């Protein structure tokens, strides 16, 4: 058994626990909307056709804000198709995912679903095949109380009060050649700046997210952020980051260290944004919206979309990855990374929520269940409160092929000085021996252990499926607190959470 020492000190804060860090993402893709959140013929369907069992799981997950309706889908989307009487809404081809969109669920229905789920709406506008005027029209439709043709149209469509959308995304992944309307950084920066200025003329209080790179591996990464922000710095609040991780060719050590890559990605975007601000002589700071992140096995057959010219299915099974215990441990470590950058990451959106690379799965007409990745998200969202603290960690290291030498143990803590509640989130990346942690929590005062969970399986590839939906579950973690020292032993490849409360 190896050993590690940690110190948790409330005098070492990173920033506030921003509730929007626990956001999600719903795209019109595969079985996410249709047969996922919406299945009118299901025994659990409510009066609007939304599955009650899925809503219960979304509420348990603790998702605070949900990005909608895309994703790649938004770059071919006409928002007008998604409002008004359902029987008059057009069926359209979705070129992004080679599917047919029925528009049965649109803006009004999704907003109703969000009300039931207890989540806030983050709305994306189409800057791929549309532009500034359409974005301003959507904002007027959504946020203006009344007195104009568009706001009256919303009222006539059944929504008297505005949707009052606070956060808006200016397109999606516009650096990607796969994106409809893909542009250079210069061209995108110009249309994003024009659109941002126009939207703020209508509603100056909204928050705007400009597209950053689709990933740190993009050949234009860094230059894209610099050029786009040079155009938009004064007009936007956040720049987006997107990152997906998977195990490559059996390289488990590098996969377990994925959060190191996320850390470097965030740090690079922050440095670039601050450079642009410095050049402009601006005191303003651009935050990050990490509005797509997850584990995604892009080379699996589940991720292959139809291609035939005459094959445009409705809600095909796409991107339905089955997640393992190993995936869940990496997933939990990515959440540690997001919290550890709470000073600059203002929001984050898990991509996605139901069926599509998702923590929640459903079977048409049948059951819903929690994937392994459900648990780190739900537990972290529930326990993280107050301020994020940076623990001091002394631990052994692991050599990885992709990311070099990394710590075997990573951690972050949160502390609410008003309630006296604290939480620790831990990951053990080692594959060999267990690690014995001695965690100095004396700085938190006279605390007691409230709950402790560990996610680990002796078979790291064990998963939850329709036939065995509870195969992988978090278990109670054995802990001991003596004289301000918390003693915890983590097995190899494990994620854990410990909640403490001042007595």
What is the per-residue pLDDT across 349-373, written as a single tens digit (0 to 9) for each?
999 999 999 999 999 999 999 999 9
User: What is the domain partition of the chain in residue ranges?
Assistant: 2-9+389-502, 18-132+141-185+207-383
Where would I find the beta strands (DSSP E) of 69-212?
92-94, 99-101, 120-125, 167-170, 207-210
3-state DSSP assignment of residue 245: strand
Name the residue with higher pLDDT: 230 or 306.
230
Is residue 173 annotated as a catalytic residue, yes or no?
yes
In tens, the pLDDT along 24-37 reads: 999 999 999 999 99
CATH code assigned to 18-132+141-185+207-383: 3.20.20.80
C-alpha 105/C-alpha 342 separation (Å) is 34
Active-site residue identified among 27, 80, 247, 292: 292
Active-site residue identified among 120, 173, 225, 387: 173
Is residue 101 annotated as a catalytic residue, yes or no?
no
User: What pTM was computed for the model?
Assistant: 0.97
C-alpha 159/C-alpha 148 separation (Å) is 14
- Phi and psi at residue 400, in whole multiples of 5°? -125, 150
C-alpha 417/C-alpha 226 separation (Å) is 38
C-alpha 268/C-alpha 341 separation (Å) is 12
2-9+389-502 and 18-132+141-185+207-383, same CATH topology = no
For the chain, first and last CA: distance in Å? 32
Where would I find the beta strands (DSSP E) of 223-305?
238-245, 287-295
Instruction: Say whether pLDDT at 301 is over 90.
Output: no
C-alpha 359/C-alpha 375 separation (Å) is 8
Nearest alpha carbon to residue 225 among 311, 288, 179:
288
Domain 2-9+389-502, CATH class in plain words: mainly beta
- What is the pairing mode between strands 479-482 and 485-490? antiparallel
Which residues are bridge partners to 269 per DSSP? none
In tens, the pLDDT along 148-204 reads: 999 999 999 999 999 999 999 999 999 999 999 999 999 999 999 999 999 999 999
3-state DSSP assignment of residue 151: helix
- Phi and psi at residue 33, in whole multiples of 5°? -85, -55
In tens, the pLDDT along 37-95 reads: 999 999 999 999 999 999 999 999 999 999 999 999 999 999 999 999 999 999 999 99
Helices (H), 257-386: 258-280, 325-340, 374-383
C-alpha 421/C-alpha 386 separation (Å) is 8
In tens, the pLDDT along 413-470 reads: 999 999 999 999 999 999 999 999 999 999 999 999 999 999 999 999 999 999 999 9
């Amino acid at each position: 058994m190896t050993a590690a020492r940690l110190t948790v000190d409330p005098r070492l804060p990173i920033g506030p626990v921003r509730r929007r860090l626990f956001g999600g993402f719903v795209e019109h893709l595969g079985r996410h909307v249709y047969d996922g959140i919406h299945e009118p013929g299901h025994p659990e369907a409510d009066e609007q056709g939304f599955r009650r069992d899925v809503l219960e799981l979304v509420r348990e997950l603790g998702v605070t804000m949900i990005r909608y309706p895309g994703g790649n889908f938004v770059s071919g989307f006409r928002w007008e198709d998604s409002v008004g009487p359902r029987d008059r809404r057009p069926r359209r081809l979705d070129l992004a995912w080679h599917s047919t969109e029925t528009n049965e669920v649109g803006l009004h229905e999704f907003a109703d679903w969000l009300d039931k789920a207890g989540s806030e709406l983050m709305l994306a506008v189409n800057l791929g095949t549309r532009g500034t005027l359409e974005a301003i029209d959507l904002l007027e439709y959504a946020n203006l109380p009344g007195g104009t043709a568009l706001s009256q149209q919303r009222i006539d469509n059944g929504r008297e009060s505005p949707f009052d959308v606070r956060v808006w995304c200016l397109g999606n992944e516009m650096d990607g050649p796969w994106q409809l309307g893909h542009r250079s950084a210069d061209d995108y920066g110009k249309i994003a700046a024009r659109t941002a200025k126009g939207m703020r003329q209508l509603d100056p209080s909204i928050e705007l997210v400009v597209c950053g790179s689709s990933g740190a591996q993009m050949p234009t990464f860094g230059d894209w952020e610099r050029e786009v922000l040079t155009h938009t710095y004064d007009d936007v609040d956040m720049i987006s980051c997107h990152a997906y991780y998977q195990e490559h060719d059996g390289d488990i050590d590098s996969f377990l260290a994925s959060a190191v890559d996320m850390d470097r990605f965030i740090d690079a975007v922050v440095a670039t944004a601050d450079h642009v601000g410095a050049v402009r002589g601006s005191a303003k700071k651009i935050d990050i919206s990490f509005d797509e992140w997850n584990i995604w096995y892009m080379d699996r057959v589940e991720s292959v979309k139809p291609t035939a010219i005459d094959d445009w299915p409705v809600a095909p099974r796409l991107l339905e990855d089955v997640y393992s215990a190993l995936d869940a441990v990496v997933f939990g470590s990515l959440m540690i990374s997001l919290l550890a950058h709470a000073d600059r990451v203002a929001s984050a959106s898990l991509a996605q929520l139901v069926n599509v690379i998702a923590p929640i799965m459903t079977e048409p007409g049948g059951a819903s269940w929690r994937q392994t990745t459900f648990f780190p998200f739900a537990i972290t969202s529930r326990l993280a409160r107050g301020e994020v603290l940076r623990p001091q960690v002394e631990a052994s290291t692991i050599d990885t092929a992709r990311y070099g030498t990394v710590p075997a143990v990573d951690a972050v803590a949160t502390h609410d000085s008003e309630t006296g509640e604290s939480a620790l989130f831990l990951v053990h990346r080692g594959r060999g021996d267990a690690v014995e942690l001695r965690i100095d929590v004396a700085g938190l005062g006279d605390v007691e252990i409230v709950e402790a969970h560990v996610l680990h399986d002796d078979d790291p590839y064990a998963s939850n499926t329709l036939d065995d939906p509870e195969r992988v579950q978090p278990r109670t973690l054995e802990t001991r607190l003596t004289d301000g020292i918390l003693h915890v032993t983590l097995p190899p490849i494990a994620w854990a959470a410990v909640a403490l409360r001042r007595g």
